[in-house]
Structure 1
């Protein structure tokens, strides 16, 4: 069992049930999935750059990514049909807890001048939290010498919480560094 998952079961579940006084065990909030998303620009038409970016994302997430391709051609955006426009991966279960543990304890503290994540702007009103990262160099799995292009990503943490207050407390108990 992952370290963060066992911490959630032993420490976070009792504190959540005490704080919000849930009557049923199934009412206690939990993290459902984590979605990592990255968009492309014109330089990714090159297959070599695309393969390198996909491999980076595979290493970061620990799972194979899906390359999203354009369904229709849009001339004003210089997009042709079938052209790669982004990639995403959905993590669930043990891989999700492993990635979240690495994100909280290894990657976020490596950001230069890191003061904590903004706890007011990232929530969507339904208990989901989204982080926008500007580059991939903060992850320890990435080798600085093999980077061709610095590119950011969006990380969405989807919970089954009803309110942002519950989700904020859940993520804070798991160790998310809010300011």
Structure 2
């Protein structure tokens, strides 16, 4: 396999949905900044009004951070160790383009995080985007081009990459 055909982790997106603004959202942002080692979380806002949940359109309801490069790999390794206790991911967690995601129910499962009754427990969603070199040519603004089908990451390739790189079994 050539260097252009080798998959890599392009980015990792960490999302914490709180459902309300205020102190809980600030706590979630602080936890995320601590877990992602300094990556500044940005707020996510409600797209629609949901009266049953007391959410208005435009209200901040969560936060997210995008990690790239070495920070992304380090965080993903730590998150996979936390999530995959039995070193197993399921095939349904991978999409057709090779990306995969999983959720962690408690932030206290991460090493170095202790339970604080003042803060509470927060869960998070983690999405990893797997790409090959050269895929940027399809997204760039200047001289945008179609890419060869060999540069698309298939679901099976992504599963193989996760197994080889992180030692996680995919069932």
TM bucket, shorter chain: 0.7 to 0.9
Name the residue aligned to 1:50. Answer: 25
Where 1:145 maps in the other structure, the secondary structure is coil
* Contact kept? 1:104, 1:176, Cα under 8 Å: no
Higher helix share: 1
SS of residue paired to 2:112: coil
- Tell me the C-alpha RMSD between the 2 structures: 2.2
- Structure with higher strand content: 2
1:154 counterpart SS class: strand
Residue correspondence of structure 1 range 154-165 to structure 2 within 5 A: 154-160=125-131, 162-165=153-156
Q: Deviations over 1:67-118 (max 9, x none)?
A: 112355443442224321221111101211221232244x346xxxx33333
Aligned mates of 2:118, 2:167 — CA distance in 1: 27
Match of 1:173 in 2: 164
Pairing 1:9-48 to 2, within 5 Å after superposition:
17=1, 24-41=2-19, 44-45=20-21, 47-48=22-23
Q: Retained in 1: the 8 A contact 2:12–2:66?
A: yes
Runs of 4+ off more than 3 Å: 71-77
Per-residue Cα deviation, 1:11-62 (whole angstroms, up to 9, x for no partner):
xxxxxx2xxxxxx421211111111112122xx33x2222111100111112
Which secondary structure state, in structure 1, belongs to the residue aligned with residue 107 of structure 2?
A: coil
Q: Distance in 1 between matches of 2:83 and 2:44?
A: 27
Is the 2:18–2:24 contact (alpha carbons within 8 Å) kept by the matching residues of 1?
A: no
Matches within 5 A, 1:1-179: 17=1, 24-41=2-19, 44-45=20-21, 47-62=22-37, 63-105=39-81, 107-108=82-83, 114-145=85-116, 148-160=119-131, 162-178=153-169
Contact 2:16 2:123 in 1 (8 A): yes
Q: CA deviation at 1:135?
A: 1.3
Q: Which moved more, 1:73-82 or 1:131-140?
A: 73-82
**SS of residue paired to 1:125:** coil
- The number of residue pairs the alignment matches comes to 149
State the TM-score, normalizing by the size of structure 1.
Answer: 0.72
